[in-house]
Amino acid sequence: MSRSLQVSRCPSIEGLRTDPRLSYEVDVLQKATASYFEEVKGYPVKLNMTENRLEAMLKVQEIMLDLMRIHYGEEHRVNAEITGTPIRRMSGAIRYLMDEGKELGSSKRELRLASEHLEKRPNGMGDHEERATLHAANEGIKEIISAL
C-alpha cells in the first residue's frame, strides 16, 4: 500500500495535474490512496504462530538469507541452480511453520528436500567461501529438522 501512495505522488502523476481535464481526477485518486493507506496502517497486525515454532522459523530464515546472498550475488547464473530450489523449499517450510493448522511434518519434508538438494550440489561450483556457506546451510537445516 505504501508503494501505491508513493506512485500516486511521483512526478509523472503530478504532471497530469497540469492538464485541466485530469487535474480533478488525479486529485481524487491521490486523496483516496492516502486515505486507504491511513486506514490500512490502523489495522492490527497479529501473527498466529505458536512460540515453539518461532525459533525454528528464525533459524530457517537465517539460513535462507545466507543462501539468498549467494543466489543473488555476482555469479547468479551459476549459483541459481544450486540455491534456487533450497530457497523455495525453505520458504515453504516457513509458511508451514507459521500455520498452526499444519503439522510439523510438512515443514520437515520441505527442509529435508532442501537439504537433499544441497547435498547433490557439484563440489566444484562457487568459490571456497560459497561452498563453506552451502555446507553450513545444509548442516543447519539438518539441525533444525532434528529439533522439530
The model's pLDDT over 45-86, given as tens digits with 9 standing for 90+, comes to 776 777 788 899 999 999 999 888 888 776 555 567 788 899
Q: With 0.75 as the threshold, say if the pTM is over it.
A: no
Check pLDDT > 90 for residue 31: no
| End-to-end Cα spacing for the chain | 36
Minimum mean pLDDT among 10-14, 59-63, 143-147: which range? 10-14
Residue 118, burial from CB neighbour count under 10 angstroms (0-12, 13-18, 19+): buried
Q: Of all helices (H) and strands (E), which one includes residue 135?
A: helix 128-147
Q: Give the mean pLDDT of 4-9.
A: 71
Give the pLDDT confidence of 78-91 residue by residue, as tens digits.
567 788 899 999 99
Domain boundary assignment for the chain: 2-41, 51-147
- Max CA separation in the chain (angstroms): 66
Residue 90, burial from CB neighbour count under 10 angstroms (0-12, 13-18, 19+): buried
In whole angstroms, give the CA distance from residue 141 to residue 93.
Answer: 11
Identify whether the C-beta of residue 59 lies closer than 8 Å to the C-beta of residue 107: no
